[in-house]
Structure 1
Amino acid sequence: MKVVIIDDHPLVRKGLTSILTLDETMEVLGEATNCKEAMDLFNSTKPDLALVDLRLANESGLDLITKAMKQGIDCKFVVLTSSIEEKDFMLAKEAGVDGYVLKEAFPEELIHALRIVNKGRKYYDPGVLDLAMRAIESIDENGDLEQLTPKEKEVLIELGKGHSNKEIAQSLFITEFTVKKHVSQILAKLSLTDRTQAALYANAKGLVTYIIH
C-alpha cells in the first residue's frame, strides 16, 4: 500500500511515517504541509491512500480532498484529526472520505484502519460512535429496528458502511429506485433526518461490526 501524509506539523508527519513504516506492507511515498504541496504530491506519486489532517494551518483538509476528487486523483482519503465535533465528522462523511481516524488512536488502530480502507471499505474511529449515540438520542428504543423489513435492514447495514445508492443496488441485486424507496422508509420508521444519521445509527446499533474491535 503506497501512502502519502498531509499534515502541517513536522512532528506529526515524522511520527506517522515511523508508525507506518513498521508495517512492511506500507510504503510512505512522501509528505506535504499544505494544499498546493499535496496536489503536486498526488500527481507525482500516484498513491493508493492519502492520510490528511482535517486542518492544515489556514487551509481545510476537506477542501483539499474535494479538490483532489474533482480533479480525478485516484486514491483513497483518510482524515486524521483530534476533532470529535459532530459537525466535522458529518462534513467529512458528506465529502466522501474513506476513513475518519482520531489522533488519539493507538498505532495498531491506525494501521488497522488503513488496511480496512485499502480493502475498499469505510472506517470510522470507534470514538466517533459517541456521535452516533447523540444523533439518535430522541429515537424510541422500544423495538425500533423491528419496524424494518429484512430488506430495509440490509439497506440500513449498507448505509452504515457508507455505500452509495448505486453500490447498495449492486450489492443487494435491486434497482437504485428500490434502494431510494427503502432509504425513505428507513428514515421515516426510525425518525431519522438523513442517510448520514442512518449510517451513524447503524454503527451505533452494532449492525456494522467490522469497524469495532
Structure 2
Amino acid sequence: MLVKVIVVDPYQLVRRGITSILSGDPDIEICGEASDGKETMALIESMQPDVCIMNNRINQQNGLDVIEKLKHAGAACKFVYLTSSLHPSELSKALSIGVEGLLLKEALPEELLYAIRHVGRGRRYYDFELLESKLMEKTADNEYDLTPKEQEVLAMLSEGLSNREIASRLIVTEYTVKKHVSQILSKLNLPDRTKAALYFHSHNVQASQKLFAGSV
C-alpha cells in the first residue's frame, strides 16, 4: 500500500531531513512540504495526502492547535505529531482531537517509517516512551488495579496491535499476551479488545487532565 505524505515544519532544513528519510522507502510517496497552517491546508486540498507529519511548533503556534484547525477546516488526512516531550495537557489535547500518531523527535528513522505505515493503514501509533512516562504510572484512582504489565499491554491494544505484535515488542510469547488481554478484559468488565482500546483513551485523557491540574 502506497502512503502519500506531506511534511510540515517551519524550517526547510528540518523538512528536507525528514523527506530524505522518507524518500528511501518504496511504500511512501512525498507529496510536498509546508511551513505553516495555510500552506498545509492548500497542500492537503490539492494533493490529498494520507498522512501529514506535523512539528510540535509551527512558527508561533502549537502544532496541536494547527492540527485542530486543519481538522475543523475539513482536512481528511491522518496526522503524525513530532515532539521533543509531551506535557500531560498536550497528551490530553492530542487524544481529544484524534491525532493518529505521536512520536518523539529522538526516534530512529525506522520508527518514523513504521509509524507512517501504521497510521497510513488506519491504525494509531503512539511512541511507547511517551505513554510510559506520562500514562503508565499507576495512579491512586486505578480502581481496576491493573498491573504495570497489563497497563503496557492495554496501551498497545489501543494502538490496534495484534497479540503477535505485542509479544514481539515485549519479547514474550503470544500465549502470555493472550493471558494479559484476558485479565484486562476481565478486570475492566469489557467484551473485547476494541472496547479496551476505547477505555484506554477515555481513561487516560481523564488521568492526564488530573495530573496537569495537580501540577498547576
Determine if the TM-score, normalized by the shorter chain, exceeds 0.5: yes
1:100 is displaced (CA, Å) by 0.6
State the SS of the aligned residue for 1:47.
coil
2:204 corresponds to which of 193, 197, 204: 197
Once the two structures are superposed, the pairs formed by residues 22-33 of structure 1 within 5 Å of their partners are: 22-33=24-35
Distance 1:198 1:4, change over 3 A: closer
Q: d(CA) in 2 for partners of 1:19 and 1:98?
A: 20
Tell me the residue number matched to 1:131. Answer: 134
1:13 corresponds to which of 15, 27, 47: 15
Aligned identity (percent) is: 37
1:44 corresponds to which of 38, 43, 46: 46
Aligned residues: 167
Runs of at least 5 residues in structure 2 that lack an aligned partner in the other structure: 148-183, 209-216
In the TM superposition, structure 1's runs of 4+ consecutive aligned residues that sit over 6 Å from their partners are 198-201
1:28 is displaced (CA, Å) by 0.9
Distance 1:141 1:147, change over 3 A: closer
Once the two structures are superposed, the pairs formed by residues 160-199 of structure 1 within 5 Å of their partners are: 160=200, 195-197=202-204
Once the two structures are superposed, the pairs formed by residues 117-128 of structure 1 within 5 Å of their partners are: 117-128=119-130
- What is the root-mean-square deviation in Å for CA atoms of aligned residues? 2.6
What is the TM-score with the length of structure 1 in the denominator? 0.69
What is the TM-score with the length of structure 2 in the denominator? 0.69
Q: d(CA) in 2 for partners of 1:23 and 1:65?
A: 25
State the SS of the aligned residue for 1:104.
coil
Are 2:95 and 2:205, in contact at CA under 8 Å, matched by a contact in 1? no
Q: d(CA) in 2 for partners of 1:150 and 1:22?
A: 42
Are 1:159 and 1:199, in contact at CA under 8 Å, matched by a contact in 2? no
Are 2:144 and 2:188, in contact at CA under 8 Å, matched by a contact in 1? no
**1:155-212 residue CA offsets vs partner (Å, 9 max, x unmatched):** 223444x5xxxxxxxxxxxxxxxxxxxxxxxxxxxxxxxx1417989xxxxxxxxxxx
Q: d(CA) in 1 for partners of 2:127 and 2:188?
A: 27
The one-letter amino acid paired with 1:149 is: N
Tell me the residue number matched to 2:196. Answer: 156
Are 2:91 and 2:205, in contact at CA under 8 Å, matched by a contact in 1? no
Are 1:6 and 1:34, in contact at CA under 8 Å, matched by a contact in 2? yes
Are 1:54 and 1:62, in contact at CA under 8 Å, matched by a contact in 2? yes
Q: d(CA) in 2 for partners of 1:54 and 1:153?
A: 31
